Amino acid sequence: MTMSLFNEFSDLTALGQALRAGTISARELAQDALHRVAQSDINAFTHVDADLTLAQADAADTLLASGQATALTGIPIAHKDVFVTKGWRTTAGSKMLENYVSPFDATVVEQLLAAGAVSLGKLNCDEFAMGSDSTTSYFGAIKNPWDHSRTPGGSSGGSAAAVAAGLVMAATASDTGGSIRQPAAHCGLTGLKPTYGTISRFGVIAYASSLDQAGPIARSARDVLAMLQHMVGFDANDPTSLALCGDQKNDGARITEQFNQHSTQFDANAAQPLKGLRIGLPKEFFAGNIDTDSAAAIEQAIQLYESLGATRVDISLPLTQQAVPTYYVITPAEASSNLSRFDGVRFGHRAAEYTDLESMISNSRAEGFGVEVVRRILTGTYVLSEGYYDAYYLQAQRVRRLIANDFRTALEQCDVILGPVAPRTAQRLDHQNDDPTADWRNDVYTLGVNLAGLPAMSTPCGFSSQNMPIGLQLIGNYFNEGQLLAIADRFQQHSDWHQRIAGTK
């Protein structure tokens, strides 16, 4: 059977209904998806194994036949290559882990498998999730399905590119400083970074442990919700995991209930569904760094929200610019510590030539890590060194607290904060910067959210004059993922940006 996921079935809900009705089987769907992955030229995948995928599809068909299926049963997804997986290689986009196969699944992988989702394999990403354009992977750069000469954003570029190209319905991703929201924006998708601690990090290869957060990328807010409700939940294996409702099932129900409560209230307001909703617009987000096309698209989105009853509230996040140096002190410091385990002794790349233990470790790390990873390890080691710890790392942690306080103050004045995801659309793959930190400054709108641990999402809101997607960022208060998704869903009910398919206008 030949079928395109985005042909007859344009969203996860419709496809799930067809699977449960028996219109199509999970195996047929998986075979079609595998064929399209094989034909794809965007370099979104690092490892595909048809036998593993079809085994999961057959198990999904059994679950469908039993009448115990979930909304995800039989749905083709894939995992960013920082989530460890049994069977599929887990490389983190690095030569250091080129042939590593984990003996266990990450908690998120287990949860989605239990829900019946069918994995097509592992998705390419910036090496160890360090990057914002998906060009630092050892396995090569990823191409944006909207324009193959441009990046899909990063570090979760493979996740966004695979969904935008119609290879999977949804994908897992991780966000340390915008790595879900920015690629979702650059590929015309919806992506959510939940509140820190609501999704287990167990089995997710760490970059910066106090900021890393897993989340989903899909086409619409409702598809993101379908993924999210099976990803959240307390995990005793993760010391940073939060026990909000006691277990994964109840936490998923909490978010869904929150979404439904807000949607019901919106319905009750009839022609002005968002009446009473206060949208905060930080003056620092609109202070001149954003390009003309992005500014125009976001302004039109704000006007649409106003037509639905929302009101603008001018707010300030005065430490917005300080988020960049704060982030790029804290994350390299944590990366320096986290990546010290990759030494060629127990697993990972080991140099072929060395004379003693010290040279083996040194040579293995020099060969195994790419330029961007080395740059951040060296930066992190420097800021943690004696004589510099107090001046840099400790000071950055103090500013981090002040940034969180700024968000807390702002969210007392509004219900949700709105702004750009990135100052411009996706860059060209061959872009060059004399300053290697220039790309770091492009993350100015997303970094503060991770430093504060807040939930935030990106949703499509328009296109540039070059037909490249533009994303809108919504930032909510802690544990208000359901509210964010409901607000985004109402916007998507009155716009069609999220329905546009790569290569079309």
- Known catalytic residues? 80, 155, 179
Q: Is 68 helix (H, G, I), strand (E, B) or coil?
A: coil
Kindly state the helix (H) or strand (E) to which residue 26 belongs, with its residue range: helix 26-39
DSSP annotation of 71: T
CB–CB of 203/102 below 8 Å?
yes
Amino acid letter, residue 151:
T
**Coil, strand, or helix at residue 311?**
strand
Q: What is the three-class DSSP state of 102? A: coil
Specify the 3-state DSSP secondary structure of 124. Answer: coil
Q: In sequence order, which residues have a C-beta less than 8 Å from that of residue 422 and are 6 or more positions away?
A: 153, 178, 182, 185, 186, 294, 442, 443, 445, 446, 471
**Cα 311 to chain center, whole Å?**
29
According to DSSP, residue 88 is labeled S
Distance of alpha carbon 481 from alpha carbon 255, whole angstroms: 7
- Tell me the chain's radius of gyration from C-alpha atoms: 22
Q: Taking a C-beta distance cutoff of 8 angstroms, is the pair 81, 90 a contact?
A: yes
DSSP 131-154: -SSS---TT-PPPBTTBTTB---S
CB-count burial class (<10 Å; 0-12, 13-18, 19+) for 499: middle
Report yes or no: 262 and 483 within 8 Å, Cβ to Cβ: yes
Task: Report the C-alpha gap between 189 and 502 in whole angstroms.
Answer: 10
Contact of 70 with 115, CB cutoff 8 Å: yes
